[in-house]
Structure 1
Amino acid sequence: MKVSFLVPDLGWPIVGIAARMARYLTGVHDVEIVGPSLWGGANPMYAGEFEYRRVECPRIYRFPDYAREVRKLSRALQGDVIIAMKAFGSTLPAALRARRERGCRVVAYLDEWDGAVAASWGWGERLKHWARDWAHPCNNVYVPRVERRLPECDMRLVTTRFMQRRFDGRIFHIGVDTERFCPQAPEAVAALKRELGLNGKSLIVFGGVVRPHKGLEEYAAALARLGRTDVALVILGPLNEHVRSLMGHPEYGEFIRCPAVDAASTRAIHEQMPLYLALGDVLIVPLADSLMARSQMPCKVFEAMAMSKPIVASAVSDLPEVLDGCGRLVEPGRVEAVAEALTQVLEDPGAAGEMGARARRRCEQQFSAAASRASLLDLLDEWR
């Protein structure tokens, strides 16, 4: 069986999830990852993880060319099964067109509720966006219309109970390679800590990309509340505008470090992510209490669990269920509670170590790459 993964754009981070899922199927099925490329090629963090196929449809983001470009994209898909990564104007319509024309199966993979952006708008804001973006079918104003076509799919894979309730999907977690993400050699960790100039500091590590709905500000503010110069917050994601804003904050900017200062260092950190995560005395998984965040299951939580490190996370989405008994959970918006949780973990390394060990055991049992691979293969076996 041939499986086509269709991404909204090869430059988007979702291509990393597609690459991981594609590798799960390689060797059992013929697999391709296909998509437009309007950002100068594959996302640099994932460029080497799969051989992507670019489809030239440079005007897919505009009417009236959109229909022609969708037809071109649809006819480029060769799979007996098409997995549309996100319900965007550049994915789902092309996949469903292929289904209508040649009878292939279509699966929608929904990692978050992208329609939450439009759902958060008031009437005035909605009219403003429509006035500006009516000619751009891949922008947020059109996402709710695309989502209304999700019932036409043969299957919807979702990442949280929120999404399951909303779109009647099957929960699928991408999982983590527990052989790669595991406790690291102390000598290598110590050498990296020296190289980064962080000797003598206790490190709180965030392994993801900083975006507004992540709620990282509360954890930074909690660090300032502790007032300890021997503690730093290390962000492993790229140095984007949100990170710069945090680092420039007068209250807590001095506590923040971000070693991913350019494309080369960002790639290096991605390639050595287990070693960088091992720097942490605490790994954090923050989420703000927003519509978007409630729909998400951060993949980074599974990497953190696999590292056998103590985790402090926001009690949002399904994180309380995933980390029950093996992580510290704090309600969003409670900076004092975050500060207290971080203090307790830092001051009781014995209990913190036991908590981390429990997290790794659960990850191996429920959230490993092997478990995710088996789940995805079982789904496709239903259609043989």
Structure 2
Amino acid sequence: MPPRSNNPRSGRVAIICSNNGSNCLGRSLLLADLLRPQWDASVVGVQTTARPWEPGASFDVPVRSFPIRSAAQLPNAVAWLRKEVQGARVIVCKPKPTSLGLALAAGVRPSQAVLDVDDWDLGFGDAPGSRGELYRRAPYYLKTLLHPGRFNSYLGVRAAFGLIPAFPHRIVSNGWLRRKVGGELLPHVRDSSMFDPAGVDREQRRAALALSARPWVGFIGTIRPHKGIEDLIAALSQLGGVNAPGLLLAGLSAEHVAEERALLAAAQERLGEDRVRFAYKFPFRELPSYLAAPDVICIPSRPGATSAGQIPAKLFDALMMGKPLVISDAHDTSDVDADAAVRFHAGDVSDLAAKLQDLCGSPAHQERLGARARAVALERFDYAAARSVLVPLLERLPPQRG
């Protein structure tokens, strides 16, 4: 863990993460990282795993965690958090019991904190699909609410979302969430100096991944049902010929071994082993090279509430790296110009196949699209744009007092 910063310029900022052991830490680290030139920013939060989220080790940001396994430890977590935020301005990441709930219990007043809503978490996991399903599953939800190790159950998250209006200072990651809960728009911005295509040895990474001369379509990230990887495989299976595009899956997680093995087996069966490459988790600092390696990046998310309220962080990674990008219309990407990405109708495999065939077959189109993507990212999704939103909010807040 990096040492505490002694930056005296603007004071301390404590960013409360809902779980330092999961990818929730990514957004918290991003906010801390973009504030670090001006503020003494750090991330604090509970941790339900043995180690912090591994990709986060690449950030030069202090992360302090309270390991927790049972609800019996919550009073100690509250006391610990109260000390951590004392004297700091506070950002609460995600309206969840283990971030917003603990913050309130630790004495953080809603009027004296910035609340960050970056996902529609009510659409994830065991969320009911209808009111009738909610009633039918009520016994299950009550059971999970009382489970000593189930801190962010559906009912708990729902209760936390109900508290959002109490926080006058809010930021959201996309326009869909802004229409839902209000607040200032602060997308998943990126550090343009790190995500710089000129600073990456693309050919070295391609060689390490054994990417042949055929065009390669990359999906970078963890595999989840709503992300549409099966649709991407099905679309690529419709494209034939000697130089048919291949599929690169990178960033796979050992936490979902069975699912990923089944997906890889399906990809190899439908595409052939020579058209499939994969790589497991890698340090965050290596992400630019993995993005640079394929010819095209695809974000094939399926339609639904989970996708609608979320803008994948990998969209901004790809834009900043100047990658030709194909993305489904399941997400609100109105801030991304039409000429900076190719869109297809979510869930429509034939439409996706046609868009991939056109783009993979035209290096000139790839070059134009990538150049425009980089220009849009530098204008709207760089750290400087985010600071112009977040810093004025923080300057209105008083530091927390014990």
**Are 1:96 and 1:152, in contact at CA under 8 Å, matched by a contact in 2?**
no
Q: Does 1:120 align with 2:124?
A: no
1:253-332 → structure 2 map (5 Å cutoff): 254=273, 255-260=275-280, 266-268=281-283, 270-332=284-346
CA shift in 2, pair 1:107/1:356, >3 Å: same
CA offsets per residue over residues 266-313 of structure 1, 9 Å max, x none?
A: 234x32211221112111122211101100111211111122221111
**How far did 1:67 drift?**
5.3
Cα drift, residue 345 of structure 1? 0.6
Could you tell which deviates more after superposition, 322-331 or 21-30?
A: 21-30
What is the CA distance between 1:379 and its match in structure 2? Answer: 2.1
Residues 96-137 of structure 1: CA distance to partner in whole angstroms, max 9, x if unpaired? 234457x87122211111112324251365225225313034
* Among 8, 13, 22, the residue aligned to 2:32: 22
Residue deviations 1:298-343, cap 9 Å, x none?
Answer: 1211111122221111012222541422111001111011011011
Aligned partners of 2:300 and 2:328 also within 8 Å: yes
Determine the structure 2 residue equivalent to 1:357. 371
Question: Residue deviations 1:133-171, cap 9 Å, x none?
Answer: 130342223211111111222322111222112212221
Over the residues paired in the alignment, what is the CA RMSD in angstroms? 2.4
Could you list the runs of 5+ residues in structure 1 that have no partner in the other structure?
Answer: 261-265
Q: Name the residue aligned to 2:64.
A: 53
After TM superposition, give the deviation of residue 79 of structure 1 in Å. 4.8
Residues in 1 aligned to 2:134 and 2:167: alpha-carbon distance in whole angstroms: 30
One-letter amino acid of the counterpart of residue 204, structure 1: V
1:251 is the counterpart of 2:270: yes
Distance 2:323 2:97 in 1: 40
Determine which of 42, 54, 62 is the counterpart of 2:52: 42
Asked whether the equivalents of residues 251 and 282 of structure 2 are also in contact (C-alpha less than 8 Å), the reply is no
Residue 43 of structure 2, aligned match among 33, 51, 54: 33
Structure 2 counterparts to residues 157-306 of structure 1, below 5 A? 157-184=171-198, 188-228=201-241, 230=243, 231-239=245-253, 240-241=256-257, 242-249=259-266, 250-252=269-271, 254=273, 255-260=275-280, 266-268=281-283, 270-306=284-320
- Structure 2 vs 1, CA of residues 139 and 252 (structure 1 numbering), >3 Å: closer, same or farther? farther
Measured at CA, do residues 116 and 182 of structure 1 come closer, stay the same or move farther in structure 2, by a change above 3 Å?
A: same
Provide closer, same or farther for how the CA distance between residues 192 and 27 of structure 1 changes in structure 2, counting only shifts above 3 A.
closer
Correspondence 1:95 to 2:95: no
Deviations 1:336-361 (A, max 9, x none): 11011011111111122111111111
- Larger mean CA deviation between 136-145 and 116-125 belongs to 116-125
- Name the aligned partner's letter for residue 8 of structure 1: S
Q: Distance in 2 between matches of 1:194 and 1:57?
A: 42
Structure 2 counterpart of 1:156: 170
DSSP 3-state at the match of 2:146? coil
Q: How does 1:141-152 map to 2 (within 5 A)?
A: 141-152=155-166
Q: Counterpart of 2:8?
A: none
What is the alpha-carbon distance in structure 1 between the residues aligned to residue 337 and residue 261 of structure 2? 30
Contact 1:315 1:332 in 2 (8 A): yes
SS at match of 1:11: coil
Aligned-partner Cα distance in 1 for 2:372–2:108: 48
TM-score normalised over the length of structure 1: 0.89
What code does the residue aligned with 2:171 have?
Answer: L
Contact 1:157/1:171 (CA < 8 Å) preserved in 2?
yes
Percent identity reads: 25
Q: Give the counterpart letter for 2:263 in structure 1.
A: L
CA 1:153–1:198: 2 relative to 1, 3 Å:
same
Give the match for residue 140 of structure 2: 129
State the AA in 2 paired with 1:116: G
- Structure 2 distance, partners of 1:68, 1:350, is 59
**2:85: which partner in 1?**
77
User: Which amino acid in the other structure matches residue 118 of structure 2?
Assistant: D
Q: Which string of whole-angstrom CA distances, capped at 9 and with x for unpartnered residues, describes residues 17-75 of structure 1?
A: 2112112222422222111122012111112422211225443xx3x664564454344
Q: Distance in 1 between matches of 2:77 and 2:397?
A: 29
Are the structure 2 counterparts of residues 246 and 253 from structure 1 closer, same or farther at C-alpha, using a change threshold of 3 Å? farther
- Alignment partners' CA distance in 1, 2:299 and 2:118: 16
Q: What's the TM-score once normalised by structure 2's chain length?
A: 0.85
Partner of 1:263: none
* Alpha-carbon separation, structure 1, partners of 2:308 and 2:81: 32
Contiguous gaps of at least 5 residues in structure 2? 1-10
- Pick closer, same or farther for the CA change 1:138–1:195 going to 2, 3 Å: closer
CA distance in 1, matches of 2:128, 2:172: 19
Residues of 2 paired with 1:145 and 1:28: CA distance? 35
Select the structure with the greater relative contact order (CA < 8 A; seq sep ≥ 6): 2
Aligned residues: 373
Change in CA separation of 1:228 and 1:214 when aligned onto 2, cut-off 3 Å? farther
Mapped to 1, the partners of 2:236 and 2:340 lie a distance apart of 22
Q: Match of 1:35, as an amino acid? A: G
Give the 5 Å matches for 1:100-115: 105-115=112-122
Amino acid at match of 2:19: D
Give the 3 Å change call, closer, same or farther, for CA 306–100 of structure 1 in structure 2: closer
CA shift, 1:190, in A, is: 2.1
